[in-house]
Structure 1
Amino acid sequence: MTTPSDDAARPVRVWVVLPADPVLGQPEQEVVARLWRRRQTERGWVYLVGLPSYRNLEDGRVEAAEYRVWVRAPGHVRPVDGADYDQVPTEPLPPVSVVREVLGERRPSGWVLAKVREGRGPARGVLHAPDCEEAPQGAALLPMERALGVAENPGTRLCTLCGCAQELTPLLSGFDHIGDS
């Protein structure tokens, strides 16, 4: 994305680390860019930097431009000696909501199938939440409708360790039995 550099904010110089290109045999490189914003995320800091670039004009000419991109810090950004970063607009991590504090981290959405082969016969499997200790690593996430289809297979068990059975059984058998005692 090429954007003009007419923001009201005053950018600060920063070193941006460009990745190595093993195909061309080029090592990692550093270029001076302009730091426009900083944002703290749950996974660390990201910086909006403006890299020097060019753009083609409709009349065929080429002019200097700036390419803005969010990059991870500190892995892709280094300070320039003597630069003052106190004036850079900074967005701190938003406060944790009371709901998230009480309930904890949200479970990843979807379900995973651990295939189990027991001799001859149809394939069997166990359906797990993706964060279950027993779930296979790197297995494809199944959306709810697909997981319900897999769960209806008589050869599929629903894991009780991660709560898969407790969450999917009402959806499979309906909610009518809940009031029955």
Structure 2
Amino acid sequence: MTTPSDDAAKPVPVRVVLPADPLLGHPEQEVVARLWRRRQTATGWLYLVGLPSYRDLEDGGVEAAEYRVWVRAPEHVRPVDGVDYDQVPTEPLPPPPPKSSVREVLGERRPSGWVLAKAREGRGPARGVLHAPDCEEAPHDSPLLDVQRALDAAENPGTRLCTLCGCAQELTPMLRGFDSIDSSDAGPGL
């Protein structure tokens, strides 16, 4: 709890909606409180309001006080007619961090791991295709494989590596060694 002298800002009146209590039969109520500050968050606005309260004194007496709490706006606050809220200290949502130049050039990273799409079961060795998790051909209900499990699956003669999503380009050097990359695998200009 705080007293009005605890803050140098000058509060303005605002209506605060108190919740209903159906067990006690109390309907929703509004009380006039003091608005100290506003803060924008990713999920909406919060208002720091001072609700009238009482405080016990050491000598057994009671004095008026203020209980400050953050409440959601507009769900729990209403304006008071004729009050100017332009002077209330306001903290806007901070701007998002700037994208790095590397991220701007390369784009967002794809999810880590690989996904094994199993082919129809039949005779012969197990068959399947390894994909990046965001590949259009990847099954959405398969678990993500870490690099070791993906390499183990790739060593199976019945497993292919998808060339659409880059799985083949990422895993082939780890399977066969980096010396196995020739100019046709390396891309244009190399």
Report the TM range for the smaller structure's normalisation. Answer: 0.5 to 0.7
Moved >2 Å (runs of 4+): 98-104, 159-164, 172-175, 178-181
Q: Which has the higher strand share?
A: 1
Deviations 1:14-49 (A, max 9, x none): 000000000010100000000000011111111000
The equivalent residue for 1:161 is: 140
Q: In structure 2, do the counterparts of structure 1 residues 18 and 57 end up closer, same or farther at CA, with 3 Å as the change threshold? A: same
1:91 aligns with 2:91: yes
Instruction: Give the equivalent residue in structure 1 for 2:123.
Output: none
2:22 partner letter? P
2:55 maps to 1:55: yes
Match of residue 121 from structure 1:
none
Q: CA deviation at 1:163?
A: 8.8
Q: Secondary structure at the match of 2:144?
A: helix
1:101-116 maps to which residues of 2 (within 5 A)?
Answer: none
3-state SS, counterpart of residue 93 of structure 1: coil
TM-score with structure 2 setting the length: 0.56
Are 2:17 and 1:17 equivalent residues in the alignment? yes
Structure 1 gaps of 5+ residues are: 108-158
Q: Structure 2 CA distance, aligned partners of 1:77 and 1:163?
A: 47
Q: Percent identity?
A: 64
Output the aligned Cα RMSD.
3.2
Larger radius of gyration: 2
In the alignment, the residues of structure 1 paired with residue 14 and residue 85 of structure 2 have an alpha-carbon distance, to the nearest angstrom, of 9
TM-aligned CA deviation for residue 173 of structure 1: 5.3
Normalised to the residue count of structure 1, the TM-score between the two structures is 0.59
Distance (whole Å) between structure 2 residues aligned to residue 30 and residue 23 of structure 1: 19
Unaligned runs of 5+ in 2: 112-137, 152-170, 177-190
